[in-house]
Amino acid sequence: MKAAEFEYFRPTTLDEACGLLADTGDDADRCLLAGGQTLVPMMAMRLARPTHLIDINRITELQGIRDLGGSVEIGAGTRQRAVEKDPITRRKLPLLAAALPHVGHHQTRNRGTVGGSIVLGDASAEIPLVALILNATLIIHRRDGRRETMADGFFEGPMMTALEPGDILTTIRFPVWDGTTGSAFHEVAPRKGDYALVSAGAQVALDANGTCIRAAIGVGGCAPTPLRLQAVEDALVGQRLTDALITQAIAPVPDLIDPESSVHASAAYRRRAAPQLVQRALLDALSEARP
Amino acid sequence: MPDDRPAASNYRYISQPRRTKEDKRFITGRGAFVQDVQLAHTKHIALVASPYPRANILSIDTSAALAMDGVLDVITGAELTEHTDRLYHGVDLPNVRWHPLAVDMTRYAGEWVAAVIADSRYIAEDAAELVAVEYEPLDAAIGIERVMEPDAPLVHPDHGSNILLKKKFVWGAVDDDFAAAEHTISYRARWGRSSAVPIETFGVITRWSEKDEVLEVWASIQMPQYQEQIADALRIPLNAVRVHNYIDVGGSYGVKRGIKQTVLSGYAARKLGCPVRLIEDRIDNMSGGDAHGPDRLFDVTLAYNGDGLIRSMKMRVVDDVGAYPGRSIQQLGKPISALCGPYRMSSIEYDVTSVTSNKTSQVAVRGFGQAPTNFALETGVEKIARRLGLDRTEIRRRNFIRHDEFPWKIPSGTAYDSGDYHTVLDKAMRFAGWDALIAQRDAARAEGRLVGLGIATCLEPGGGNNIFEHLLNEKIQITTFVESALLKIDGQGQVTVAISTHTAGQGHQTLAATVAGEELERDPDGIRVVHLDSLEALPTRGPVASRMAIMLGSAVSKAARRLRNRMIHIAAHDLAVADTEVEYADGEFTVRGDPARKRSWLEIVFIAHRQLHRMPPDTEPGLQTIEVHAVPGGGKLPNEKGEVQIYPCFSFQAHIPLVEIDRVTGQVEILDYAVAHDCGTVINPKIVRGMMMGGIGHGIGAALYEKFDYTEDGQLLSGTFLDYLLPSAHEIPDIRDTEHCTPSPLTSHGQKGSGEGGYLGAPAALASAVNDALEPLDISLTELPMRLADIEAALHTHANPVPETAP
Amino acid sequence: MIATIDIEFTVNGKPVRISVPPRMTLVDCLRDMLGLTGSHIGCEHGVCGACSVMLDRVPIRSCLMFAVQADGAAVTTVEGLEGPDGKLSPLQEAFWDCHAMQCGYCTPGMLVAAQGLLDENPTPTSAEIREAISSNLCRCTGYQQIVEAIQLAAQRMNEGVDHA
């Protein structure tokens, strides 16, 4: 299980990386290498075989967590474990903090990056789901410019995103919710640390009267992409959240999702588990919001 | 550590919680695994595997691969078959031809079709992609019942059927016992295709020495008669094969058979004149290597009375051995040694069918067929208890063979050596806190939670007298398998034990040194244990069948006692007294009642090695001896009733897990796990405990996580560690253990086997716990593994029964 | 053939300068080029952890990194866990005392994972230990004696007791 041959490049600046990636003068298959926790095994199995591997691990512009008050910016190349351990994450991005321990294991999170996971866009992965639920802003660079796009709409299909050839995801800006909020993340995986069969994340904000003023809910493993459950959110916002209301709100979930079968869980399994995990996430988020 | 270890034994080293001899090299990274062997000019094999489960090979074009820089050769099945003989199966199957590389037809997805030999594994893999194989895909034979249907595709067309073996045994008056019994119960149990899956794949390096005309082999191996089979296939004499047994094996638990790999590598090494290394990668290993375990369908009927006493059993079992059975068919044979488990049945019918399919071949797995059998048996015991409303522990107590009834002969003719099942079960229950666990379960149930308490017991046959092979194939008339030890005390008085096999984590060096140290009253830390290579080796069967404590332990003990007596003899002669007048203790030979007259250890050593003039007449110079130990109670063919003693020693365990099932996800969480074990005298408690814990972990995998899944058309879905789910430290909980000691009368110190019991008991115990959790819903599952989706599906079906269709 | 690349890094404190093909994994480089065969290869796709090493004091899987990526880094393998005088580390001693292994194949990676845990959390709970070593598969032990060994090592290190 050895990778096919490739040429290796190690830019130290974003401009250099953009330049290397944009060079399309030949038939080369150029690929960025970040944490490598998914790409390298794919290469070992020769399911991925880039001819030009551009290692972006030494680009300091891609590193770091910045608290901007109303948002937190995380450099795409920041290691998942660094984000998990950072107090800013726990304080400002509790949903991300709750999801990260489900991502692989210590050792894979020591290398795996936040941006790498988003760029892969696996429908079962936790970080893309959190980015989608919170509708993070994705900052993308390429040789001729910089743009921002929202996570909503970024995930286009199975392992497919809105990134164009030449694009580098550089920063993820997560919005921080004010006020009385609660969040929770639940998932079922064959073993802890495996890709989720079904995952569900929820974040809610309540006003002083306990009425839900904001809700963000999504599921993983239930469609070709991570999925936000707008209809469930709509059923909750403006309401006082009771168990009965939540039960009613999750009822349409099986119809909102489009799961596939895999070795460890059928589509029917996912259809049945998804609403229940959403319910668990909502109840936990609610109880966190109501101390 | 266990809190109620039996009272400290009278032994000085045996049973003491001493450090092992092996561990130091592993914690410092100095283990000598096959991958660590670096020979100059070694070439590397990469394999071309069939993508089809069943296909005709129309052509193989190796030219592009051969043209690559760094590629030495590409070997195909046709070439190999011309120069090597077919590989051996455990039963007579003249028309089931097995070769290291497929010839004309592929029989499972992943079967090796060609081997590329190159300067590095990287280059070899590059070239393997360039080997162009033209296939004609055919329908595959998949499904344990499907393959037996008359219109099923034939895996081996020349054999004319997918049934490789069908045999029925009847021991005792089965029909009479059934007629006399008050009730019968029939059920089906299914053991899924899981396996041992060591973290080290199989690997082998071979080198043909022109100087010695010997094939040298370094391999990650656990295979009885390995060198014999290699020699046969390569058409060289057995004494032209040198297997280096010092190689550390990175786990095996039965699977590391390595025959086809070694024949391939050995052929290439001789042909190319350089060392050739075949280290399976994980994909080679799981789809094409010695990977898969038993895959069994049981149909069992038990005849029992209203008091729960089981009188007789009819067990029909079908085992899917995959494409090439090798020795795996014999895994239906070993369970004959303990078919009725710890229970007093008076008759048994055992109807076995071995089928071939277009799946990866089955190989030996820990317990050699006993874990599935025990699961099937325990499933029935639980079912009877439920049906009679009898406590699950009480039904076992009523059926257990009593402590005072040993040796107890079971219907198939094997006598169990010793046991105290009632005491061990009681001990397990007390230790587990059975009543409190029941209360905990009931309180959880009252809250609507699905909590279940499991119970299972198991017998672990140990010793490995493979007469069961004869039962499945009368031509095999092998009535014992021996194990040997060579002991010597050198000119400086140091003790060395030479053993004749490799080791795969069972701690044979510690075992041999501890027993030798005990007998000679020398510190085991100072005793060296070496692994003889196969040319130097004495007769051996190797570390299979929970046998090394029994066989190697007894061999070392006998050899050490002989040397000790010889030293006493020398001392007595030198002191001019009778042998019986000399006492040996702590390295000193003293005249009884006259402590001033004595000789030291070193004096006797010096006399033995250098001072023939002080030696007793007719005494061999030096201090060395060989003991070749035969399996106790073996040596006989079956009698006219088909009865025969198979294994000599029987260990016993009782497992008590508490589980909770998540109603939504079907996930099983093990809340508590307690176990009591009795393997007689323990040589090293840390090793024995570790093997039991590991066996339980392995059993948790087989019960809840692990399966080689296939699509209906024969593609393997679990060919990597992403899909085949070995349990991690999350899935295996803290396990509480206690022990009991019922010594075996058949071994040097009362020891029995201990490498398999955890794996034999855990699957049945977890099935019991899961079913106990589901009992309030009247759901009963009898198929392993019980993975989360299986349990969730059962819960869903229960909550949403299929509405009856209107007439 | 693609040209090899010169890299410099330290392995167990010793500087290394070698030239590697870009596609060579770190574990292959350590084993085949540097002769450090303590780190093992179990799956080569990042699941089993037999190849765990420390990269700049953090445990990682060395099958999921190319050796060229280690340029400039400090790598510690199992061979570097002993003291300079060959004295076993408290963790190694505890693994031996508890017989936290059988075949020894996963042991080097397990030690690295455990050392990584103790470096950042000197008083781990049993659950934290299981979390940290869940990245490393062991087929022999059922993990029980490994967990006990890590607990013992932590206890001894915190008591400052030398059990060599």
| pLDDT value for B20 | 98
Q: How many angstroms separate the CA of residue A131 from the nearest CA in chain C?
A: 25
Q: Which helix (H) or strand (E) holds B536?
A: none
Q: Which residues of A touch B129 (CB under 8 A)?
A: 46
| Interface predicted TM-score (ipTM) | 0.98
Q: Which CATH number fits domain C5-80: 3.10.20.30, 3.30.70.1520, 3.10.105.10, 1.10.3470.10?
A: 3.10.20.30
Q: What is the pLDDT of residue A42?
A: 97
Which residue is it, tokens 């984590």?
B505
Residue B664 and residue A5: Cβ atoms within 8 Å? no
Residue of C nearest to A58 (CA): C69
To which residue do tokens 């396990």 refer?
B735
Q: Which two structure tokens, joined as six digits, stand for B422?
A: 């009632």
Q: List chain C residues with CB under 8 Å of B689.
A: 99, 145
b/e map of B632-665 (b: 16 or more CB within 10 Å)? bbbeeebeeeebbbbbbbbbbbbbbbbbbbbbbb
pLDDT on residue B480? 85
Whether B135 and B342 have beta carbons less than 8 Å apart is answered as no
Mean pLDDT in each 10-residue stretch from start to end of chain C (164 residues)?
Answer: 94 98 98 98 98 98 98 98 93 98 98 98 97 98 98 94 57
Kindly report the number of other CB atoms within 10 A of residue B446's CB atom.
8
The 10s digit of each residue's pLDDT in B128-148 is 999 999 999 999 999 999 999
Domain B369-463+647-797 classified CATH 3.40.50.12780? no
Q: Does the distance separating the beta carbons of C47 and B722 come in below 8 Å?
A: yes
Q: Which two tokens stand for residue B309?
A: 């006493």
DSSP B23: H
C contact chains, 3+ CB pairs < 8 A: A, B
Q: Tell me, what's the pLDDT at A116?
A: 98
- Nearest CB to A106 within list C22, C59, C65: C59
Q: How far is CA B454 from CA B34, B385, B395, B757, B784, in A?
A: 41, 13, 14, 17, 15
As its CATH architecture, domain C90-159 has Orthogonal Bundle (1.10)
- Residues on chain C touching A37 (C-beta within 8 angstroms): 46, 61, 64
Class of domain A7-55: alpha beta
- B722 vs A contacts (CB less than 8 Å): 194-195
Domain spanning A60-175 has what CATH number? 3.30.465.10
Contact B472, B613 (CB under 8 A): no
Q: Looking at beta carbons, which residues of chain B come within 8 Å of C107?
A: 26-27, 31
Q: CA-CA distance, C86 to A193, in Å (whole number)?
A: 36
- Asked if A273 and B664 come within 8 Å (Cβ–Cβ), the reply is yes
Using a CB–CB cutoff of 8 Å, tell me whether A47 touches chain C.
no
B540, pLDDT greater than 80:
yes
* Residues sharing a CB contact under 8 Å with residue A91, sequence separation 6 or more, in sequence order: none
A87 touching C (Cβ < 8 Å): no
Measured between CA atoms, how close is A255 to chain C, in angstroms? 35
Q: Is the pLDDT of residue B10 over 90?
A: no
Express each pLDDT in B615-667 by its tens digit: 999 899 999 999 999 999 988 999 999 899 999 999 999 999 999 999 999 99
Q: Give long-range contacts, CB 8 A cutoff, 24+ apart: B99-104.
A: B99/B260, B100/B260, B100/B261, B100/B263, B100/B264, B101/B75, B101/B76, B101/B77, B101/B264, B102/B50, B102/B57, B102/B77, B103/B57, B103/B77, B103/B78, B104/B56, B104/B57, B104/B77
Residue A168 · residue A14 · CB < 8 Å: yes
Residue B397 confidence (pLDDT) above 70 = yes
Could you give the CA distance from residue C92 to residue C90 in angstroms, rounded to a whole number? 5
Chain C residue whose CA is closest to B728: C134
Residues of chain A with CATH 3.30.390.50: 180-289
Confidence of residue B542 (pLDDT cuts 50, 70, 90): confident
Residues of B with CB under 8 A from a CB of A: 121-122, 125-126, 129, 281-283, 662, 664-665, 667, 705, 709, 717-718, 720, 722-723, 725, 727-728, 730-731, 787-789, 792-793, 796
Are C135 and A108 in contact (CB < 8 Å)?
A: yes
Residue B97: which pLDDT band, with cuts at 50, 70 and 90? Answer: very high
One CATH from 3.30.390.50, 3.40.50.300, 3.40.50.20, 3.40.190.10 for A180-289: 3.30.390.50
Question: Which tokens sit at A228?
Answer: 């936000």
Q: What is the pLDDT along chain A (291 residues), one digit of tens a residue?
A: 999 999 999 999 999 999 999 876 667 799 999 999 999 999 999 999 999 999 999 999 999 999 999 999 999 999 999 999 999 999 999 999 999 999 999 999 999 999 999 999 999 999 999 999 999 999 999 999 999 999 999 999 999 999 999 999 999 999 999 999 999 999 999 999 999 999 999 999 999 999 999 999 999 999 999 999 999 999 999 999 999 999 999 999 999 999 999 999 999 999 999 999 999 999 999 999 987
> To the nearest whole number, what is the mean pLDDT of chain B?
96
Chains in touch with A (≥3 Cβ pairs < 8 A): B, C
Beta partners for residue B474, in sequence order: none
β-pair partners for C55: C58, C75
CA distances from B460 to A56, B189, B604 (A): 55, 21, 43
* Nearest-angstrom CA–CA distance, B215 and B276: 11
Is residue B512 within 8 Å of residue B21, measured between CB atoms?
no
**Residue B106 has what pLDDT?**
98
Q: What is the mean pLDDT of the segment spanning B187-210?
A: 98
Give the pLDDT of residue C102: 98
* Minimum Cα–Cα distance from C96: chain B residue: B23
Smallest Cα distance from B725 to chain A, Å: 8
Beta bridge partners of B462: B649
Above 90 in pLDDT, residue B303? yes
Indicate where chain B has its CATH 3.30.365.10 domain(s). Answer: 369-463+647-797, 483-629
Report yes or no: A180 and A207 within 8 Å, Cβ to Cβ. yes
Q: Cβ of A192 and C61 within 8 Å?
A: no
Q: How confident is the model at residue B4 (pLDDT cuts 50, 70, 90)?
A: very low
Report the distance separating Cα C147 and Cα B733, nearest Å.
Answer: 10
**C-beta neighbour count of B402 within 10 angstroms:** 13
C145 close to B (CB below 8 A): yes
A4 chain-B contacts, CB cut-off 8 A: 126
* Predicted local confidence at residue B804, as pLDDT: 55
Tell whether the model's pLDDT for residue B5 goes beyond 50. Answer: no
Cβ atoms B418, B404 nearer than 8 A: no
CATH 3.30.465.10 boundaries in chain A: 60-175
Nearest to C104 among B122, B196, B248 (CB): B248
Across the interface, of A5, A41, A45, the residue whose CB is closest to C64 is A41
- Judge residue B160's burial from the number of C-beta atoms within 10 Å of its C-beta, 0-12 exposed, 13-18 middle, 19 or more buried: exposed
- Which of B283, B664, B788 is nearest residue A190 as measured by Cβ atoms? B788
Question: What span, in angstroms and rounded, lies between the C-alpha atoms of B326 and B88?
Answer: 6
Q: How far apart are alpha carbons C69 and C75 in whole angstroms?
A: 11
* C-alpha distance from residue A35 to each of A108, A112, C74 (Å): 8, 4, 17
* Residue in B with minimal Cα distance to C140: B694
Give which of B187, B297, B196 is closest to B784, Cα–Cα: B297
For residue B100, give the nearest of B121, B79, B124 by alpha carbon. Answer: B79
Mean pLDDT of B402-422: 97
Chain C residues close to A43, C-beta within 8 Å:
23
Q: Which residues of B touch A280 (CB under 8 A)?
A: 664
**Distance to chain B for A188, nearest Cα, Å:** 7
Please count the other Cβ atoms lying within 10 Å of the Cβ belonging to residue B598. Answer: 15
Classify strands A145-150 and A137-142 as parallel, antiparallel or unpaired: antiparallel
User: Which residue in the block uniquely carries the two structure tokens 């001896």?
Assistant: B625
Domain B483-629 class in CATH? alpha beta
d(C-alpha C70, C-alpha C80), whole Å = 17
Closest by Cβ to C61, choosing from A4, A10, A107: A107
Contacts with A199 from chain B: Cβ below 8 Å: none
Longest dimension (CA), chain A: 63
Q: Residue B268: left if φ>0, alpha if ψ -120 to 50, beta else—which one?
A: alpha
Q: Is B730 in contact with A191 (Cβ distance < 8 A)?
A: yes
For residue A47, the one-letter residue type is L
Over the stretch B314-354, which tens digit does the pLDDT of each residue have?
999 999 999 999 999 999 999 999 999 999 999 999 999 99
What is the spatial distance between Cα B783 and Cα B142, in angstroms, rounded to a whole number?
A: 18
Residue for token digits 């199989």? B202
Residues of C in contact with A7 (CB under 8 A): 2, 22
What stretch(es) of chain A map to CATH 3.30.43.10? 7-55
Beta-strand pair B588-591/B594-600: antiparallel
Phi, psi of B693 (to 5 degrees): -60, -45
Domain borders along chain C are: 5-80, 90-159
CA neighbours closer than 13 Å in the CB half-sphere of residue C147? 24
Residue with tokens 């998914």: A38
| CB contacts < 8 A (A, B) | 67
And the tokens for B675?
């176990």
Please check whether residue A50 is in contact with residue A40, taking contact to mean a CB–CB distance below 8 angstroms. Answer: no
Give the residue among B773, B752, B768 at the shortest CA–CA distance from B692.
B752
Of C23, C44, C65, nearest to A36 by CB-CB distance is C65
Partner-chain residue, chosen from B33, B252, B687, that has the shortest CB–CB distance to C99: B687
**CB neighbours of B806 closer than 8 A, spacing ≥ 6?**
none
pLDDT in the model for residue B465: 80
Residue B120, C-beta contacts closer than 8 angstroms, at least 6 positions apart: B44, B70
